[in-house]
Structures are given as structure tokens and as C-alpha cells.
Chains A and B, each alone.
Chain A
Amino acid sequence: MVTANNELAYNSKIEGDVIVTRADAVINWIRTNSMWPMPMGLACCAIELMATASSRFDIARFGAEVMRFSPRQSDCMIVAGTVTYKMATAVRRIYDQMAEPKWVIAMGACASSGGMYRSYATLQGVDRIVPVDVYVSGCPPRPEALLDALMRLQTKVKRERSAEKLLSA
């Protein structure tokens, strides 16, 4: 038989086991600290992305070490490298396949603006096909810059009104 918990007053027996907070804070705390990247490694920036994941720079400190090669399992697409027009449609398709909530980091000059490739073959900034949250300058950016971008993204996600979005979805 299920007994209803009809205690209305403060229960001293569970003192210390309960934390009172806002739903937004909890959801965002979970999201920011397990942001699994979709490594969209298209050029030399991907080498720096790999360095960021390795022990010296250790992206695991920020909970983003699980590079998922399936868009279904990733939260944050890191576009690392030159996006050609031929690849652009594939990048957008993979972005579409990622489950909400999802974010995008444009890593390096090429992904941000086309970089030095002012040419017939290169997409002039990945923001023309996917919404970008953080841009990283550099050619290629150092791993610290990517970590900084990740931390900025975490700051951004912490400001999101996640509970409201979840309820209205």
C-alpha cells in the first residue's frame, strides 16, 4: 500500500539531503558540464581539436571529452576547418540530425568567415548554413582558445531559460 507523504512542515530527518534551487540552474548545470562535441574536423583546425582533447590540454576538465561521431549523441558541433560548398550541405544535414538542445562553435578563421579562402569553392563562413554560438579566431586557434570558446559557450548556456523552453516545447 502506498502511503502519501502528508508531512507539511520541515522534516529534520532529511536535513542536509535536500538542496533548493531553480530548475533552470539545475538543467543548465547538467548541460554545461556534459557538452559532448560533434567533431566536424574538416581541415588543419581538427589537429588542434585533437590536441585539445589530449592529456596536455585535457578538454575533459570541462566535461566535453566525449567526442561523439554520431550527431544523435552530441550536443555541440565544433566546426574545425574549411567548409567547402560541397561539404556545406553535409554539415547542415548533420546539424539537423543533432538532438535539441544543440550548439555550434566555429573554430578558426575558415569556419568563421572563409578565412584566406576567398574562392569559388569555399563557404564564406559556416554561419551561412548553421547558427553559430561562439566564433574562435586563429589560423589555427591554439587549444587554449578552443577551451576559452567552450567556457564562453558554457557561460552562454548557463544564462538560457531552459525550463521554460522545455515546458513550452
Chain B
Amino acid sequence: MSAPAAALTALREKFPRVTERASADHPAADVPAEELLAVLRCLRDEHGYDLLADLTAVDWAEGASPRFTVIYHLLSTATPGYLRLATACAGDTEPAAPSVTGLWPAANWHEREAYDMFGIRFTGHPDLRRILMWDGYPHHPLRKEFPLAGVETPLPDPEIVAETGAKAIAAPMAGGPFVASPGEMKMTEAEPRAKDESWNEAKDKPE
């Protein structure tokens, strides 16, 4: 048995509510949100998972319940191996999960990113602000209902807006997204710009 799988077995004996999670690569487990901090602390202190390699989230789309899942990728530098833990967020419209910044300071920015992109509130986070989009941006772009092109939004700086009249717009998709596999269609015709009727040499760029 590999080191992560052994750690997982020992963990499930200690925490019976931890269940195994289907995974194509590393051993993975589902953890209930109430036990998350205790489980992660046990893994860090007793099994040597001292490095939080990644913290991200999944949106299972509107209608699913639980809708949001937070994923933790742990790495043990003592006995090399990855472990993946997942926990369902409480609340489907305003999801929340416990913050693990107390266990790994590295979680700070990861949780800010998950908050920015998915709107998951991490309770106990010392400074939960947006990290990629600007403060005051009204949406969470990686949620399933949010279009890739974006939605029209005013820019944050009123001086610049007064000067230029610029705003964040829904990007012209121009026939895209660019999904073409060789042989199916002519690549020159599949190129989004070739199909762009809204904005070319003859017609001005739409505002």
C-alpha cells in the first residue's frame, strides 16, 4: 500500500465519517465540513502532510445540492505522495467553508482566489478580499451561470471612466470559442476572426 493510501486508511479509522472518493490518480476522500479542520490537522501533524499544494473549488451547477465543493491537495515531503480531500460547502447560494489558513498559511491566497472566482466564504479567513478581479466586482466568474465572455460592468476608477468612457464589456466571441479538431473543418475558416461579422476592416469595432 502506498504511503498516502495508508494514511487514508488510518484516517478513516479515526474519523468514520470520512468516505473514499473516486479518483483517477491520487487517493482521495470526502470529508464533512464540520470535521474538516480536525481531519486536516491530523493529516498535517500525525501523517506528515506538511504542504498544501493546492486549494480549489468545483461548481456543480445550479440545481445541484451541495452545489460547491472545496478541494485540498496535500503533499507529504517526508513520505512523498499526494492526497486529495474534498468537502461540500454549506449553502448553495452563499456557500461557506472553514478556512485552513491556521494550518497552512499558503491557504490564504488560495482561499481568496476561490472566494473571488466562486463566491465561497471561508469562515475564519484573516483577510477575505478578491485577489484577481477588482474590489467591488459584482460577479464570481467561475460559477457555471457566468458567461466566459463576461457581462457589462463599470470599471472601478471613476476618474478613468469619466475620461475614457471605458467599461468592462461582454467580449465579442466572434464565432468562437475556437474549438476545431484537424480534418473536421478548414482551420482558416474555423478561426474566430474569420467569422467575425461584428468587427472587421469594413465595420468599426462595436462599443
Contact = CB atoms under 8 A, between A and B. Distances in A.
Interface in B152-205: 155-157, 160, 163-164, 166, 168-169, 171-174, 176-178, 192, 205
A114 interface: yes
Contacts of A89: 155-157, 160
A121 B169 contact: no
Interface stretch (A13-21, A71-79, A99-107, A123-131): A123-131
A92 B172 contact: no
Given A89-B155, A89-B157, A125-B205, A120 B148 contact: yes
Contacts of A86: 132-134, 156
Contacts of B147: 120
A88 B155 contact: yes
B44 to A, nearest CB: 34
Interface magnitude class on chain A: 20 to 34
Contact of B166 (A88, A93, A118): A88
Contact of B174 (A85, A118, A121): A118
Interface in B102-137: 132-134
Interface string A117-143: 111111111001110000000000000
Interface residues of B, number: 29
Contacts of A128: 164, 166
B160 A129 contact: yes
A88 B160 CA distance: 9
B149 interface: yes
A131 B58 CA distance: 41
Nearest to B130: A86
Of the candidates B149, B163, B166, the one having the most CB atoms from chain A within 10 angstroms of its own CB is: B166
B134 A85 contact: yes
Interface in A11-50: none
Contact of B171 (A96, A122, A130): A122
A85 B151 CA distance: 13
A113 B148 CA distance: 17
Contacts of A124: 169, 171-172, 205
Contact of A118 (B134, B164, B173): B173
B91 interface: no
Contacts of B150: 119-121
A119 B150 CA distance: 6
A156 B148 CA distance: 38
B141 interface: yes
Contacts of A96: 163
Contacts of B160: 88-89, 92-93, 129
A119 B164 contact: no
Contacts of A118: 148-149, 171-174, 176-177, 192
A103 to B, nearest CB: 17
Given A92-B160, A93-B160, A129-B164, A120 B146 contact: yes
Contacts of B156: 86, 89
Nearest to B171: A118
The 9 A-B residue pairs with the shortest CB-CB distance in the complex, in nearest-first order: A120-B150, A89-B157, A118-B171, A89-B160, A85-B168, A92-B160, A129-B164, A86-B134, A128-B166
13 contacts: A86-B134, A92-B163, A92-B166, A93-B157, A113-B205, A116-B178, A118-B172, A118-B192, A119-B148, A119-B149, A120-B141, A123-B166, A129-B164
